């Protein structure tokens, strides 16, 4: 652990149509990456066009990539993280900041775990592969669309060699 | 434990691909933001007892402004029945809700203003694509006086220890017994934010639990209704009214189910009736069950559109209990059965059609209603 260097960037990555970018608190981002990839990893940030992709590794082995996105819920941005493994399978998502008064159930494990193991080829649509939560429809739709887009981007960039 | 450097200027080194060093400066300052949204519904209604009508039933503008990450104002301005004329009996323009939210924690947002009373499903969530049937359930008109809103202060948030559990609790202005009647229940007792009496501050709240496909909730209201009347009592909780309600929404595969029940009791109904020369029920009760099935799950498996066939059965009694010596009006023991189709090309656009059978235990004034409607939200 002492060898490991963890660089966590507090960054803002917009996912259309998110509007102004919102920041993820560094502590929450660090905790999320630690939960997903284990403690003591090295995190580098890569730029692809205007996007920032986090590359997570330990020693010489690549553990995966992650990206922070924002989508608008009813009126507030929802800041979330999408993490993939080196085979472009979705490891998990995390809701880093939820600002709406209702619909926060998208942050909970029973909903998030539906995304695990999905690839860009899978159906990531509400009602088709992803169950909705009644009373939280707007947040569910927004986060699902945001995850779908980021997973597609990460997969395309990885396969094209833009991130590796 | 992971270590990180939360300083504003973080250098991240990218060596593998020659992107070069990238410095990312992050604007942490909260941004002000104004959001516009809305919903609407247009109805065609053909009752067996009269002529068909068409109506812009509701046109609602949602306007929210975030002053920073924690403080926001949220509002809805609603026009019912397309227009309001000085002489006309129809049509309303109303501020349906306007409140300030001050978010302190995930589990605590302070809310002040004209708020929706957190009772049942439809009172809080009534955007047309969220429910089956052209009209809102009759139960949510006659028993729960939708859209029930009052001015008050309270808190909303999630319960930290239990995933999926959330609450809202408010102290709001109370109902006025003077507005109660046999046929309209407690509906006309609501202040709706207009010079409302604060003689009977009332408590209302809701606890709900959600997970994918399921949401269940329980709600209450408790408060006086005397409005400072010298006969009924001038205490804050004089002529009290108690409401308890429960509801559930469950989706599994192509099937969807929902239901609501409520019980309203007014222990001083006899005194209220005598005071205002009318019959006031001591208890109103009932509910409905609804089941739907997305036909496209069978007919067009790959489609993300929905065509939901549904049936809803409502059964409620606006005079489930009456004061001693009063004879019940059995036409207020109602049953409404609705068969319909809901077509949703998108999750937030809806075309609806249904057939309703409206009956009551007295067997008078029964009718069938055919309705068509379009609705949207954004």
Q: Quick one: closest CA in A to B253, which residue?
A: A127
The whole-angstrom distance between B117's CA and the closest CA on chain A is: 15
Of the candidates B177, B169, B167, which has an alpha carbon nearest to the alpha carbon of residue B152?
B169
Question: Residue A8: pLDDT above 80?
Answer: no
Burial-class residue B252 by CB neighbours within 10 Å (0-12, 13-18, 19+): exposed
Q: Min CA distance, A59 vs chain B (Å)?
A: 14
Distance from the B12 Cα atom to the nearest Cα atom in chain A, whole angstroms: 6
By Cβ distance, the residue of B3, B24, B69 closest to A99 is: B69
Q: Which residue has the tokens 């809806």?
A: B350
Mean pLDDT of the residues in chain B: 90
CA B338 to chain A, closest CA, distance in angstroms equals 21
Mutate to test the interface with B, among A2, A3, A5, A9 (most CBs of B within 10 A): A9
Contact B212 A131 (CB under 8 A): yes
Task: Find chain A residues with C-beta within 8 A of B162's C-beta.
Answer: none
- Give the count of alpha carbons within 13 A of B135, CB side only: 24
In this prediction, residue A22 carries a pLDDT of 64
The whole-number pLDDT of residue A103 equals: 83
Q: What is the pTM of this model?
A: 0.87
CB contact under 8 A, B17 and A164: yes
Optimal mutation site among A35, A40, A73, A135, interface B, most CBs of chain B within 10 A: A135
Work out how many CB contacts closer than 8 A connect A with B. Answer: 145
* Mean of pLDDT over chain A: 85
Report how far residue B29's alpha carbon sits from residue A161's, in angstroms, rounded to the nearest whole number: 35
Cβ-based contacts of B103 with chain A (< 8 Å): 99, 101
- B289-327 burial, b for 16+ CB within 10 Å, e for fewer? ebbbbbebbeeeeeeeebbbebebebbbbbbbbbbeebe
Query: Which of B5, B31, B125 lies closest to A7 in CB terms?
Result: B5
Do the chains contact at B16 and A47, CB–CB below 8 Å?
A: no
In tens digits, chain B (378 residues) has pLDDT values of: 333 333 222 333 322 222 333 333 333 445 788 999 999 999 999 999 999 999 999 999 999 999 988 999 999 999 999 999 888 778 999 999 999 999 998 899 999 999 999 999 999 999 999 999 999 999 999 999 999 999 999 999 999 888 899 999 999 999 999 999 988 999 999 999 898 889 999 999 999 999 999 999 999 999 999 999 999 999 999 999 999 999 999 999 999 999 999 999 999 999 999 999 999 999 999 999 999 999 999 999 888 899 999 999 999 999 999 999 999 999 999 999 999 999 999 999 999 999 999 999 999 989 999 999 999 999
Choosing among A31, A96, A134, A161, which should be mutated to test the B contact, i.e. which has the most B CBs within 10 A? A134
> Which of A131, A86, A93 has its CA nearest to residue A15?
A93
The two three-digit tokens of residue B20, written as one number? 């070069």
Chain A CB contacts of B158 below 8 Å: 104
Nearest to A76 among B66, B158, B258 (CB): B66
User: How far apart, in Å, do the first and last CA atoms of chain A sit?
Assistant: 24
Cβ <8 Å between B2 and A104: no
Residue of chain B whose Cα is closest to the Cα of A128 = B304
For residue B30, the model assigns a pLDDT of 56
- The nearest alpha carbon in chain B to A42 belongs to B2
* Mean of pLDDT values over A27-48: 92
């Amino acid at each position: 652990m002492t060898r490991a260097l963890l660089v966590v960037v507090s960054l803002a990555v917009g996912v259309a149509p998110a509007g102004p970018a919102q920041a993820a608190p560094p502590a929450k981002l660090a905790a999320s990456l630690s939960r997903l990839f284990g403690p003591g990893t090295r995190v580098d940030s890569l730029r692809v066009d205007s996007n920032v992709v986090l590359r997570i590794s330990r020693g010489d082995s690549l553990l995966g990539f992650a990206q922070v996105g924002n989508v608008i819920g009813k009126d507030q941005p929802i800041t979330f993280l999408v993490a993939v493994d080196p085979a472009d399978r979705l490891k998990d998502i995390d809701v880093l900041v939820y600002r709406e008064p209702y619909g926060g159930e998208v942050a909970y494990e029973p909903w998030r775990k539906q995304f695990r193991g999905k690839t860009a080829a899978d159906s990531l649509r509400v009602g088709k592969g992803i169950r909705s939560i009644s009373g939280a429809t707007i947040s569910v739709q927004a986060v699902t669309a945001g995850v779908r887009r980021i997973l597609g981007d990460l997969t395309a960039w990885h396969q094209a060699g833009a991130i590796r | 434990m992971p270590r990180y450097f939360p300083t504003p200027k973080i250098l991240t080194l990218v060596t593998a691909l020659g992107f070069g060093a990238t410095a990312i400066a992050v604007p942490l300052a909260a941004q002000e933001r104004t959001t516009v949204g809305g919903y609407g519904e247009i109805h065609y209604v053909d009752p067996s007892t009269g002529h068909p009508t068409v109506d812009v039933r509701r046109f609602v503008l949602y306007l929210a402004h975030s002053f920073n990450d924690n403080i926001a104002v949220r509002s809805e301005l609603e026009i019912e029945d397309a227009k309001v004329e000085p002489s006309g009996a129809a049509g309303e323009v109303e501020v349906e809700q306007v409140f300030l939210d001050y978010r302190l924690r995930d589990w605590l947002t302070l809310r002040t203003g004209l708020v929706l009373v957190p009772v049942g499903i439809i009172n809080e969530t009534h955007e047309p694509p969220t429910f089956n049937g052209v009209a809102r359930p009759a139960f949510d008109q006659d028993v729960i006086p939708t859209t029930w809103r009052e001015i008050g202060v309270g808190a909303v948030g999630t319960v930290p220890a239990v995933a999926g559990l959330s609450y809202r609790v408010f102290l709001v202005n109370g109902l006025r017994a003077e507005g109660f009647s046999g046929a309209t229940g407690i509906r006309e007792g609501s202040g709706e934010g207009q010079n409302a009496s604060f003689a009977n501050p009332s408590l209302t709240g809701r606890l709900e639990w959600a997970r994918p496909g399921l949401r269940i909730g329980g709600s209450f209201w408790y408060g006086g209704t005397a409005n400072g009347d010298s006969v009924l009592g001038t205490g804050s909780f004089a002529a009290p009214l108690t409401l308890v309600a429960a509801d559930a929404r469950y989706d599994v595969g192509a099937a969807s189910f929902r239901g609501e029940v409520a019980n309203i009791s007014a222990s001083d109904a006899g005194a209220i009736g005598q005071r205002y020369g009318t019959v006031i029920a001591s208890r109103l009760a009932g509910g409905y069950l609804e089941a739907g099935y997305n036909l496209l799950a069978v007919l067009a498996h790959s489609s993300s559109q929905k065509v939901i066939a549904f049936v809803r059965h409502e059964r409620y009694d606006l005079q489930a209990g009456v004061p001693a010596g009063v004879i019940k009006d059995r036409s207020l023991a109602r049953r409404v059965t609705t068969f319909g189709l809901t077509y949703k090309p998108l999750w937030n656009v809806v075309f609806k059609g249904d057939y309703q059978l409206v009956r009551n235990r007295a067997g008078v004034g029964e009718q069938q209603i055919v309705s068509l409607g379009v609705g949207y939200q954004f």
